[in-house]
Structure 1
Amino acid sequence: MELGVEAIGRVVSRLLGKTNAPVDRNMVIPTSLHDLDSLLAGGLRTGQTTVVAARSGDGASTFALGVARSAALHHQLPTVVIAPGAPESEVVMRLISAETHIPLQRLRRGDFDDSEAQRLREWEERITSKHLSVRAAKPPAGTLVDSVVAVMHEDDVRVVIVDSIATIGASAREDVASMAAWAREHHLALVLVTGALQPTTGEGGPPQLTELRDYDAVVDLVDAVLMLEQADPPQAIIHVVKHRYGPTGSVHVAHIAHCCSYANLP
């Protein structure tokens, strides 16, 4: 493969921190989980596709929403969450819970106290940030893949979260290949949420790459696979089981289930 002079100069200038470096559309998307970002050399990357998976109830959707929060609300990177299998109000409620640390059940009941109400008012501007868009309930543009491609054509979008790809069905390989190709072309960080199968033999243990739902269809098409495992509460483990451009490994984080979030351990 021949490397163009412009591409080489852009990367070298960025590495040297030159203030007049040509614009490089390849960006790092921090997850705000310090140990994970360290393992991933800063975080997720635009142009790459990451699969996030967990066994049922182990928090893959919570993690993906955390990526969206980190990118949009804490790093001002335009982000779209597509969640065709969930009501829009539920996705937004989980986002509010994670941002304000008000337990989700209290928000659902509307019985939070005065200090929590004040916290909610203080976070309102950030929660309604123009950098984050939630499109839930049903694919907004025909099929799920049509919706993802439509989003990728929008100006300035840098991160697209798809929760989940379970609805793709028999066309999973073709559809994931299309979405990954669009992500590379448009320099977007694409995060696809899916499930992990229960092990067919033995009990417990961390999830394995071969337990990935639709393993044969997607594993060679994506750049990274993160699989989540619940440990002794409140700990969880994030296993980086595939990383095309870096090391694999595992990191421990805190899973704050009642506030729909992951956080750094003290």
Structure 2
Amino acid sequence: MRSRPYEGKTRDPAAAPAQPRNDEPEVAYRSRPEQSTKDHTMSEDTSTSLGLPHDLTAEQILLGAMLRAPNAVTEVVEDLDGSRFYRPAHELIYTGILTVYAQGQTPDPLNVRDALAKDDLLNQAGGLPYLNHLAHETPRTMSWQQAAQRVLALSTLRRTREAAAHIDNLVAEGTPESVDEVINTAQAEIFAATAQHRSSLPPDRPLGDILEGVLDEIEGIATDTDTLPGISTGFHDLDNLTNGLQPGQLIVLAGRPAMGCSTLALNLARTAAVEQRLPTVFFSLAADRNQVAMRLLAAEARVPLHHMRGGSLSDTDWERLARRMPDVSSAPLFIQDDIYSNFVNLRSHCRRLRAREDIRLIVVDDLHLLHYGTRPLSSRYEEISEISRCLKLLAKELAVPVVAVSTLNRSPEQRTDKKPWIADLRDSGALEDNADLVILLHREDAYERESPRAGEADLLVVKHTQGPTADVTIAFQGHYSRFVDMAHA
């Protein structure tokens, strides 16, 4: 069974305490001697794992300040969660303080006692006498701000120590064949152990501070009119309409089968990676990596795709391939064609690529081949809704645009002009709700071979949260597996 990354708990609160080692430092690594229960301080815990760093006095000072001054709660909650406390009773008290505070009450000993008693946790937390001791009798040998920093730092040391022990076991049991897995697991362990707790209460920013940054951005855009604010799509009219693909955006590309949505998605990835040299990841759930690479080469070198697949390349075709190969092979494009059983794996891969390669664009082809995976959902409608919501959050978290290919239902086939509407998105109306930009792909010649508009494609921008909607006409060169501007057709 594969080892799970370290998740932050240092010990089992119910485990029997072990005897302290005689060679442990007095303050940071060893509990203070047991005291009489007459002063209501509770007997001090000793480490169940030998020598785990902790400072119970700092924990008591911090909790005492929170029981006396609600403003301490406001500041501490942004950096600290209950798992950072060494003593289980202190974690319970901290959680009780936050519960009372969230209800708009003063987190004094009496209110915290009632909150703990409601969940039948009062005795485990030490009872009202210990709460009163924390609030009124704890020695103030340091400020509560210093105590908070110390609690956080010692918690990180404990987590790192246990992560290191786990990594040591992995290395001892590792083999040359499992070295990649050991490295990946070790990196995940250290990252989980050293990551600071993310605030459950994000800081509020005054509008004046926000507007100052907004004005700077507007001024920068106005000054540098030759540079597109976002990532170019490769289509001049679409770039003018959208100002490029913006960080944090979820862009949905949708069309009927065989309309060319996968080709268009690869077109966007190719433009970003090959032409703009921006690190890009292309998740291909429908085609394997060789098929994707072949399409990319056909588009870049202007070599008919059927010539490549049929092995009938002419001398001119080979020359074109050789001419474009250096630029294409050096492009920072990452193709992932593994069949992801769930969205959670895909999200983890994106986070890793963002950290390692600083990816600037994520393309997923296609959305309907994904499953959420970590929990059962009642219907496919609900599953697609959850995936689209999480894709939007992922785009915002990583500050990159995410392009997702979707499919339309059969409704356009029933219309005279065959044009799709935004309501035709398959499986979930949440797609249009979560997307910042929805582009529907339509080609008349897909329905009528003798159409006077053969070779043309319409990008129907039916939703655009940052600007107007419009129809953009581009050229479809199917034999090259690409779309281009009409001027370049």
TM over 0.5: yes
Residue 426 of structure 2 corresponds to residue 223 of structure 1: no
Which residue pairs with 1:168 in the alignment?
370
Structure 1 SS opposite 2:369: coil
Alpha carbons of structure 1 residues 160 and 125: separation in structure 2 relative to 1, 3 Å = same
Match of 1:197 in 2: 409
The residue number in structure 2 matching 1:119 is 320
Between stretches 179-188 and 199-208, larger displacement belongs to 199-208
What is the CA-CA distance between 1:148 and the residue it aligns to? 3.3
Is there any run of 5+ residues in structure 2 with no aligned partner, and where? Answer: 1-203, 222-227, 372-379, 445-452
Q: Secondary structure at the match of 2:475?
A: strand
- The alignment covers a number of residue pairs equal to 256
Deviation at 1:3, TM superposition (A): 4.7
Measured after TM superposition, the shift of residue 11 of structure 1 is 3.6
Give me the whole-angstrom Cα distance separating, in 2, the residues matched to 1:137 and 1:57.
22
1:12 is aligned to 2:215 = yes
Decide whether the 8 Å contact of 1:48 with 1:184 is kept in 2.
yes
Distance in 2, Cα, partners of 1:149 & 1:102: 36
Q: Which residue of 2 aligns with 1:241?
A: 462
Tell me how far apart the structure 2 counterparts of residues 67 and 53 of structure 1 sit (CA, whole Å): 14
Match of 1:85 in 2: 286
Partner of 2:347: 148
SS at match of 2:252: strand
CA 109–148 in structure 1, closer or farther in 2 if over 3 Å, else same: farther
Q: Which residue of 2 aligns with 1:256?
A: 477
Asked if structure 2 preserves the Cα contact closer than 8 Å seen for 1:149 and 1:179, the reply is no
Residue in structure 1 matched with residue 84 of structure 2 by the alignment? none
Q: Which runs of 5+ in 1 are unaligned?
A: 19-25
Deviations 1:181-202 (A, max 9, x none): 0110110110000111222743
Structure-1 separation of matches of 2:406 and 2:461: 15
Question: Contact between 1:85 and 1:137, CA under 8 Å: does it hold in 2?
Answer: no
Does structure 1 conserve the Cα–Cα contact (< 8 Å) formed by 2:229 and 2:244? no
Q: Quote the Cα distance in structure 2 between the aligned partners of 1:28 and 1:152.
A: 21
Q: CA deviation at 1:215?
A: 3.5
SS of match in other structure, 1:188: coil
2:330 is matched with 129
Is contact 1:54-1:196 (8 Å) kept? yes
1:65 counterpart SS class: helix
Report the aligned-residue RMSD: 2.1
Residues 137 and 75 (structure 1 numbering): CA distance in 2 closer, same or farther, change over 3 Å? same
- Distance in 1 separating the partners of 2:211 and 2:455: 45
> Structure 1 or 2: larger helix share?
2
* Preserved contact between residue 145 and residue 175 of structure 1 (Cα < 8 Å): no
C-alpha distance in 1, partners of 2:213/2:476? 39
> Is contact 1:145-1:179 (8 Å) kept?
no
The separation in 1 between residues aligned to 2:205 and 2:438, in whole angstroms, is 29
- 1:22 corresponding residue in structure 2: none
Instruction: Give the match's secondary structure for 1:220.
Output: helix
Structure 1 position 27, deviation (Å): 5.5
